């Protein structure tokens, strides 16, 4: 019975045979180049690769998952897809692109200004044309013990404190100050008051990191 000789490894093409990396990749990248930080993008202090919409989408591959996320969220924000769920949970493994997807939503909600390849990611008709209020909570940057500086002398301890400030500034935070300082969730009517009747996008990232920082241990009694 004849046998087939194993294929020579020299016949297997390398990655450089199959594609040509971009110039910035050939020049060399650092870990900081991949450090997506939602909080910095919201505050407008991230590196231009993440802060500038055109740069961000130029360096982002339009995966099917990202296209579906942008389509579903933007359809609801623009009022043409109210049948879509109001809450989306991004279920990916560590390093699976959750933060990258959230940053994409920030830029999409703000109209994808100066982006030339919009159609690669979403039907341009679905991109919100009117103002969308955006608020985010990034557990990586949270400070439940001391409070995270939001500006105007406001130090938020909880997700709802940061979201209240993101939606309505200092006035919004003052409405929830007691809940934030006592780390007690506000009522549904109070939250609805902050949302108002405007299109609103709330982003939550790295909640597990926030809980590990001590809030959960303080709020949940030990069971022996």
CA distance 132 to 221: 40
Please, are residues 205 and 103 in contact by the beta-carbon 8 Å criterion? no
pLDDT of residue 91: 74
**Considering only CA atoms, which of 36, 40, 32, 34 is closest in space to residue 136?**
40
What is the average per-residue pLDDT within 135-140?
91
Residue with tokens 């879509």: 84
Mean pLDDT across 40-58: 92
Tell me what the mean pLDDT of segment 18-28 comes to.
Answer: 75
Q: Is the pLDDT of residue 174 over 90?
A: yes
pLDDT at 84: 67
- d(Cα 65, Cα 43) in Å, to the nearest integer? 26
Q: Rounded mean pLDDT of the chain?
A: 84
């Amino acid at each position: 019975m004849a046998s087939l000789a194993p294929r020579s490894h020299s016949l297997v093409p390398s990655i450089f045979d199959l594609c040509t990396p971009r110039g910035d990749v050939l020049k060399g990248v650092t870990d900081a180049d991949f450090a997506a930080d939602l909080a910095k993008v919201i505050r407008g202090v991230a590196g231009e690769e993440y802060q500038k919409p055109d740069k961000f989408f130029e360096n982002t591959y339009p995966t099917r998952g990202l296209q579906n996320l942008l389509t579903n969220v933007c359809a609801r924000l623009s009022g043409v897809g109210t049948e879509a769920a109001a809450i989306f949970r991004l279920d990916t493994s560590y390093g699976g692109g959750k933060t990258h997807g959230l940053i994409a939503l920030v830029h999409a909600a703000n109209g994808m200004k100066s982006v030339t390849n919009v159609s690669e990611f979403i039907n341009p008709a679905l991109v919100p044309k009117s103002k969308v209020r955006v608020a985010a909570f990034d557990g990586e940057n949270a400070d439940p013990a001391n409070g995270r500086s939001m500006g105007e002398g406001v130090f938020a301890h909880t997700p709802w404190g940061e979201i209240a400030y993101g939606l309505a500034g200092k006035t919004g935070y003052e409405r929830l100050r007691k809940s934030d300082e006592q780390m007690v969730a506000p009522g549904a009517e109070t939250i609805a008051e902050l949302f108002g009747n405007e299109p609103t996008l709330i982003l939550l990232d790295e909640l597990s990191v926030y809980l590990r920082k001590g809030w959960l241990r303080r709020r949940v009694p030990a069971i022996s």
